Amino acid sequence: MLADLDTDNEFSVFQPDVIKADLSRLGNFVVFLIERELRSEGLPVDTFGPLEPDKVVIGLTADRSVLGCMNEMAYASRVDIAIHGGLFRRDAAELNRRLRRDIHSPRGYERPIDIARRHLPALHVVSSQRDDAWTQSHTLESAQPPLAELARNRLTENGRMQLSVGQVRARREAIGRILESAGATNPRLFGSVVRGVADEESDVDILIEFREPGPQGFAYFGALDRMEHELGRLLGAPVHVSVVDPDAPAGRRILAEAVPL
């Protein structure tokens, strides 16, 4: 489901095993799902303003950008579920988090989670329990000196790291080995780390290219998933690996701010 909460905000929600009874009170069901997912992200349920069940409608759209975003979300969900061995083996909560960090808004190069947080500039967003558990199990154990020492000095109130370009570059050789094993080349950094505005909720955004012939279909998403997992363990922070179209407006914007690793 792609919830269009106003003209500039789309918030994605994946919900398996929906039955007819769930849809008999559509408004209540949709509001329940959105509020549940906002809470899972450590966001207040009124992030987008009051959610009123009686105002929920199923929308029809001919907007090609919105349709493209929905198709991308559906395809990414199918591939992710297949990679994990089926829906019954995939953690739906984790898939929801992944979708909100991978799917870009039809209005521009923004992830749904970033759009939601943009409504809360003065709010200290507390990580979800999943983020806390991930940090406790991976941050200091997975990082080798000198990053482990940096982590102790830069852990934020909710246990997440704030990394700088220099700190990421300190692990350049190890990062390069992970990327090389996946067939990735020409790594560059972009996003909040490069702009110097990374906070405890920020991912480390890494732009790559694949050697020809690059992976296709499930192999493509599997390669990205493995790189993100291994790089996240190495850096002690969430990592988002991207491949962009240099001819697309969003791709040109990313390339303009990207810096060599």
| 10 lies in the same domain as 79 | yes
pLDDT at 184: 94
Task: Give a yes or no: residue 123 inside a domain.
Answer: no
Task: Give a yes or no: residue 93 inside a domain.
Answer: yes
| 155 lies in the same domain as 58 | no
Give the predicted TM-score (pTM) of the model: 0.49
| 195 lies in the same domain as 232 | yes
Q: Among residues of the chain, what percentage have pLDDT more than 70?
A: 76
Task: Give a yes or no: residue 13 inside a domain.
Answer: yes
pLDDT tops 80 at residue 239: yes
Q: In sequence order, what DSSP letters do the residues of 3-60 get, joined into one string?
A: EEEETTEEEE----S--HHHHTTHHHHHHHHHHHHHHHTT--TTTTS---GGG-----
| 76 lies in the same domain as 179 | no
Nearest to 230 by CA among 154, 152, 150, 143: 143
| 251 lies in the same domain as 151 | yes
The neighbour count for residue 238, using CB atoms within 10 Å, is: 20
Give the end of a domain, one of 118, 144, 164: 118
Residues 119-143 have a mean pLDDT of 42
Residues 137-142 have a mean pLDDT of 36
pLDDT band (50, 70, 90) for residue 70: confident
Q: In this structure, which amino acid lies at residue 113? A: I
Number of structural domains (the chain) is 2
| 87 lies in the same domain as 200 | no
Query: And the tokens for 107?
Result: 């209005």
The CATH number of the domain holding residue 159 is 3.30.460.10
User: What is the domain range of residue 143?
Assistant: 129-260
pLDDT at 143: 38
Task: Give a yes or no: residue 124 inside a domain.
Answer: no
| 13 lies in the same domain as 109 | yes
Query: What is the spatial distance between Cα 72 and Cα 99, in angstroms, rounded to a whole number?
Result: 10
Cα–Cα separations (whole angstroms), residue 12 to 36, 60, 74: 12, 16, 11
Query: What is the spatial distance between Cα 17 and Cα 3, in angstroms, rounded to a whole number?
Result: 18
pLDDT at 145: 41
Q: Among residues of the chain, what percentage have pLDDT more than 90?
A: 12
Residues 37-64 have a mean pLDDT of 83
To the nearest whole number, what is the mean pLDDT of the chain?
A: 76
pLDDT at 180: 92
Residues 104-122 have a mean pLDDT of 67
Task: Give a yes or no: residue 192 inside a domain.
Answer: yes
Query: What is the spatial distance between Cα 72 and Cα 68, in angstroms, rounded to a whole number?
Result: 6
Residues 116-122 have a mean pLDDT of 66
- Better pLDDT: 94 or 119: 94
| 140 lies in the same domain as 252 | yes
Task: Give a yes or no: residue 216 inside a domain.
Answer: yes
| 144 lies in the same domain as 256 | yes
| 108 lies in the same domain as 10 | yes
Give the end of a domain, one of 118, 151, 167: 118
| 20 lies in the same domain as 113 | yes
pLDDT tops 70 at residue 138: no
Give the end of a domain, one of 72, 94, 118: 118
pLDDT at 217: 80
| 81 lies in the same domain as 166 | no
